[in-house]
Amino acid sequence: MRASFSRSEQRKLSCAVPGATDEQLAEALETSLSVVKKMWVSIYRRVENYLPELVANPLTSDIPASGRGREKRRRLLAYLREHPEELRPVSRKLLGNTNRDK
């Protein structure tokens, strides 16, 4: 487990992996669209800390600013499809509480 996603983030990402839109995520999670967008910001921050290779440096990226969010999501979801263990619940006790919601 490299990213140490929280259980809440794991649940949200599990819904997103099949390709759900933000609107579909909001409906599935029974929350607002603004909460879903804040969720992505939180997840991207965690990814930047633990899996920086998934997040292109915005200053050196060839991707236009308008497509960077979509590209980040595409890379993250592709990674999660290849590494489903990132979305499995893990006891914080087993991890020694070293990665508590950074």
Reported pTM: 0.72
The domain locations on the chain are 7-95
Q: What is the average per-residue pLDDT within 63-69?
A: 58
Give the burial class of 29: count Cβ atoms within 10 A of its Cβ; 0-12 exposed, 13-18 middle, 19 or more buried: middle
Instruction: Show the tokens assigned to 18.
Output: 């099949």
Place of tokens 């909460």: 35
pLDDT band for position 102 (cuts 50, 70, 90): very low
Distances (CA, A) of 29 to 9, 11, 13, 74, 76: 11, 9, 11, 20, 20
pLDDT band for position 48 (cuts 50, 70, 90): confident
